[in-house]
Amino acid sequence: MGFFAYILVLHALLLSLSLLVSARPATFQEDFKVTWAQDHLKLVEGGTAIQLTLDQSSGCGFASKYKYLFGRVSMKIKLVPGDSAGTVTAFYMNSDTDAIRDELDFEFLGNRSGQPYTVQTNIYANGKGDREQRVNLWFDPSLDYHTYTILWSHRHVMFAVDEVPIRVHKNNEARGIPYPKSQPMGVCSTLWDADNWATRGGLEKIDWSKAPFNAYYKDFDIEGCQVPGPASCTADPTKNWWEGAQYQELTPVQARLYRWVRINHLVYDYCTDKSRYPIPPPECTAGI
């Protein structure tokens, strides 16, 4: 069996294992609100999905009605097809606290037709961001829905695509490195014009003759400590499953998939960008 075929078998196993994890299904109407340009969002597919639209007049966005402290959130997203250069579809968690905000980002950077879609992840802790990493997706994410997940525990943050880990950020507070742990965050998404930076550093601009640009969302899952509620979210795994031992480290299957992504699909890592950081940031040497 070739390595990639082996990866696919591991992937299938991981997906089957993920079905054992209980999550509370969320619905758009009950759990989310439109935050920007209501006329650019609409229910589709019989009300089971929503469509976000970007045109020359506006982008749009939505957010959860509640904030959460730790947990796991996921959405199935079908990204903008064809020539999507200059557009960004974002799925993220945000504390909405301005200068001291915490934030966990998925940003899907549009492309010219035929080029790979890039997903950028970023992490803000106590107002400090600039921790970008970029991975070229190994499939066309505009052809069908794929599942994008953020798992946030006291131990680490993990970003995953179809249950394949693409980034792990460990809690290194013991070494003096800020970690998001005290500010609840809402679950948000936006579709917007970012052609000043999104595609090839802003060299590729939006072709408005291809507008409107549409992205689709469904199967919202949220499992976390909802706020308002308890003042803190305990690390006790008997109360919060995402704090359990099996979620504190990558499993052997996840670790192999993670190495495969990092070797074959990682295209940018702030830790190795010497033009920005002649001396690597401390979390880069402490272990990500």
Q: What is the pLDDT of residue 2?
A: 52
The predicted-structure confidence for 203-231, as pLDDT tens digits, reads as follows 899 999 999 999 999 999 999 999 877 66
pLDDT at residue 98 in the model: 82
Confidence check: pLDDT of 145 > 90: yes
Catalytic pick among 45, 103, 173, 249: 103
pLDDT at 20 over 60: no
From the list 107, 204, 243, 283, the catalytic residue is: 107
The answer to whether the CB of 86 falls within 8 A of the CB of 193 is: yes
Average pLDDT for 106-115: 92
For residue 14, being part of any structural domain is answered with no
Please give the Cα distance from 111 to 268 (Å, whole number). Answer: 16
The CA-to-CA distance between both ends of the chain, in Å, stands at: 31
Please write the tens of the pLDDT for every residue from 34-45.
Answer: 999 999 999 999
- Evaluate whether residue 189 is within a structural domain: yes
Q: Is residue 215 part of a domain?
A: yes
Domain at 216, CATH number: 2.60.120.200
The domain in which residue 157 lies consists of: 23-286
Q: Is 191 left (phi over 0), alpha (psi -120 to 50) or beta?
A: beta
**Is residue 18 one of the residues assigned to a domain?**
no
Counted domains in the chain = 1
Instruction: Indicate whether 2 belongs to any domain.
Output: no
Q: Is residue 12 part of a domain?
A: no
Show Cβ contacts of residue 102 under 8 Å, excluding neighbours closer than 6 positions: 93, 94, 95, 124, 125, 126, 180, 183, 185
Q: pLDDT-derived band of residue 29, with 50, 70 and 90 as boundaries? A: confident
From the CB of residue 155, how many other CB atoms can be counted at a distance below 10 Å?
A: 18
Tell me, yes or no, whether 5 lies in a domain.
no
Based on the residue annotation, tell me whether 249 is a catalytic residue of this protein.
no
- The answer to whether residue 236 sits within a structural domain is yes
- Maximal CA-CA distance, the chain: 54
Q: Taking the complete model, does pTM exceed 0.85, yes or no? A: yes
Is 103 noted as a catalytic residue in this protein? yes
